[in-house]
Amino acid sequence: MTTDDDRETRLAEMTGSIPESQQRPGMFGVTGTGDTSGFSGLQRQPWIELPSQRPYGSYFDEVMDALGAAYPNLDAAIRKVVVDRGELTVHLRREHLLGVAKALRDDSALRFELLSAVSGVDYLVREGADGERLHSVYHLTSMTYRRRIRLEVSVTTADPHVPSVTGLYPTADWQERETWDLLGIIYDGHPALTRVLMPDDWEGHPQRKDYPLGGVPVEYKGATIPPPDERRVYR
């Protein structure tokens, strides 16, 4: 297991000091305090997930052993395994995503029958390092063994392509559409990768961290609510 001291040491080794460009700002452009309101003085450093070492604990070692038996190329597929807060996350190379997901679903020792969610994350501060700031995240549940596992694939904004898992898990249909809509991750092989929340002619992907805040004025019972960046001046 990785401790907070380990993370701080790794962060110091990797960054030396945290440049201003990598410090997390608050919402609506607030800087310095790092929180939304500007009152609490909260400051947060960039989160770095360090690989965990075996034994992972809980049922995680049993799952990884079974997955290794079911998918012989597992060592080549895995970028790192992270156990944190009682949850197991397996970071994969995208070309192995479908093979690993199929093994997790079909193998009798695994039986992760349900894909409960597909979500996306934009780690904007990582663009200057390896560039793989967009993460596609898959939350799998084994109803047979009452277990959970998370898969994660990272891509760049220049090449945001990830294989669609709709052929394995039909529940991914709208979830991949939502992640494409808001973050711009392109799911190759999806049957109809179209907008699901934003209008069809919308430009850009609103949940990317570098997306212009802007906003759309909204009328509510005769009153007009301005876009977020016009409600309060932080700069």
Residue-level pLDDT at 107:
97
Residue-level pLDDT at 24:
54
Catalogue all structural domains in the chain, each as residue range(s) with its CATH number. Answer: 1-47 (no CATH), 49-230 (3.30.460.80)
Residue-level pLDDT at 18:
52
Residue-level pLDDT at 39:
44
Residue-level pLDDT at 17:
53
| Beta strand 114-122 pairing with 78-84 | unpaired
Query: pLDDT of 1-37, one tens digit each?
Result: 555 555 555 554 444 455 555 555 555 555 554 445 4
Other C-beta atoms closer than 10 Å to the C-beta of 52 total 18
Residue-level pLDDT at 45:
58
- pLDDT at residue 52 is higher than 70: yes
56 or 125, higher pLDDT: 56
Q: What is the mean pLDDT of the chain?
A: 82
Cα-based distances in Å from 134 to 7, 122, 126, 180, 215:
22, 5, 9, 11, 22
Residue-level pLDDT at 160:
95
% the chain with pLDDT above 90: 57
Query: pLDDT of 67-110, one tens digit each?
Result: 999 999 999 999 999 999 899 999 999 999 999 999 999 999 99
